[in-house]
Amino acid sequence: MNSPQKPRVVSGMRPTGKLHLGHLVGALRNWAPLQEKYDCFYFVADWHALTSDYANTAAITTHAIDNVADWIAAGVDPERSTLFIQSLVPEHAELALLLSMVVPIPWLERVPTYKEQQEQLTDKDLSTLGFLGYPLLQTADIALYDGRFVPVGEDQVAHLELSREAIRRFHQFYGEVLVEPQPLLTPIPRLPGLDNRKMSKSYGNTIDLTDDADAVAKKVRQMYTDPKRIRADIPGTVEGNPVFMYHDAFNTNVAEVDDLKSRYRAGKVGDVEVKTKLAAAMNVTLEPLRARRREVLARPGHLREVLVEGSRKARVIAQATMERVRDAMKLRY
Ligand code: TRP
């Protein structure tokens, strides 16, 4: 049961594709334990997906269902948390519009991801109002639920800072109606991709939560390691080495990991052994997730029901917030 005494946590994920280990380590492993102490609202940010993927919307709903299956597989519990779809709660758009009245455009242009993404995603025209307004929609996502804490990765801190500034500016005009959110930073360092670049679908360097045991083993064999170790008897570097970062993230046998690290540093272990043990450990960790994922997807219509019901609950709260906002803005008729 949701208890109203618990402070509220809000976080969202864009349904832009299959989830990979970066999502598991960077978000879901954080989302699940937060359910103990917080009243958690986790949602599919489908309008946010449109800010960059507006030209191709056909797969958004499929990704949404598929992603939520992974959330639940990773321990997000629809009985304890409210899981919903952003676009089923149209108040997100209403509050974002009202915020857009008071937030100066240069504040949005200064958000680092704005220029970065425009430069990187050159195949898309991101000179749209929707893309510029991304952080305002995100502010609305959080403020509608009085979200106090927002679990996010490092890359989202600038967005959250903008949210805080936007809410403070809103308060200057209309009084204190909203809650200023704080980031809850993921404790685990970011997991690199197979090639040691940032893990991203567009780099083709991910391990997906839908990959089976063989696919994981195959990908691990191709993983980047210490490039100066051309032979097994050359001492290697453990720090910042993706293979050992993955061992730290997935191998629960700490003694085995310590032994591999010390032999690696001494040039007394081959990459094949390090990687074989890694793949085995990863599959031990991932198999229960795969099983739970299969289970939830085997119940036809189940996830849709969870999301429609969650969205209905979320909307009741969002509407109450909008009543407060209308009062504060003197938009009462
Ligand atoms: N911008 C977030 C991301 O890309 C997704 C998101 C949208 C979000 N709205 C949010 C995260 C509200 C936290 C709270 O990861």
- Structural domains in the chain plus CATH codes: 8-191+300-328 (3.40.50.620), 211-292 (1.10.240.10)
Contact 56, 215 (CB under 8 A): no
- With the most atoms of ligand 1 within 8 angstroms of its CB, the residue from 155, 156, 199 to mutate is 156
pLDDT value at position 190? 82
Does residue 126's CB lie within 6 angstroms of at least one atom of ligand 1?
no
Span 30-44, mean pLDDT? 97
Phi and psi dihedrals of 184, rounded to 5? Answer: -115, 100
Q: Is 255's pLDDT higher than 80?
A: yes
| CA–centroid distance, residue 182 to ligand 1 (Å) | 13
Expressed in angstroms and rounded, the spacing between residue 154 Cα and the centre of ligand 1 is 12
- The answer to whether residue 2 scores a pLDDT higher than 80 is no
Is 142 near ligand 1, meaning CB less than 6 Å away?
yes
Q: Comparing 156-160, 255-259, 328-332, which segment has the lowest mean pLDDT?
A: 156-160
CA of 51 to the centre of ligand 1 (A): 12
Query: Which ligand 1 atom sits nearest the alpha carbon of residue 13?
Result: 5
Contact 163/139 with Cβ under 8 angstroms?
A: yes
Q: In this model, does residue 225 exceed pLDDT 80?
A: yes
Min mean pLDDT across 166-175, 199-208, 257-266 is at 199-208
CA–centroid distance, 199 to ligand 1, in Å, is 18
Does ligand 1 lie within 6 Å of residue 8's CB atom?
no
The answer to whether the CB of 156 is under 6 A from ligand 1 is: yes
pLDDT, residue 188, reads 67
Cα(17)–Cα(24) distance, rounded to whole angstroms? 14
Which tens digit of pLDDT belongs to each residue from 49-76?
999 999 999 999 999 999 999 999 999 9
How far does the centroid of ligand 1 lie from the alpha carbon of residue 232, in Å?
A: 43
Instruction: Say yes or no to pLDDT of 1 above 60.
Output: no
Indicate whether 310 pLDDT > 80: yes
Q: Which pLDDT belongs to residue 186?
A: 73
pLDDT score, position 196: 95
Q: Is 12 in the pocket of ligand 1 (CB under 6 A)?
A: yes
Label residue 4 by pLDDT band (50, 70, 90): low
Task: For residues 221-245, give the mean pLDDT.
Answer: 95
* pLDDT per position as a tens digit, 95-109: 999 999 999 999 999
pTM over 0.75: yes
Concatenated DSSP letters for 197-247? Answer: SB--GGGT---BTT--HHHHHHHHHT----TT--STTS----TT-HHHHHH
In this predicted structure, the answer to whether residue 332 has a pLDDT above a threshold of 90 is yes
Q: Average the pLDDT over 229-258 and give the result.
A: 96
Name the residue among 230, 215, 326 with its Cα closest to residue 279: 215
Q: What is the mean pLDDT of residues 8-37?
A: 96
Mean pLDDT (whole number) for 11-37: 96
For 108-157, the pLDDT digits (tens) are 999 998 999 999 888 999 999 999 999 999 999 999 999 999 998 888 89
CA nearest 211: which of 36, 18, 76, 41? 18
Residue 186 near ligand 1, beta carbon < 6 Å: no
Please report, for the chain, how many H helices and E strands are present, in that order. Answer: 15, 5
Q: Which of 48, 53, 164, 199 to mutate to test the pocket of ligand 1 (most atoms within 8 A of CB)?
A: 48
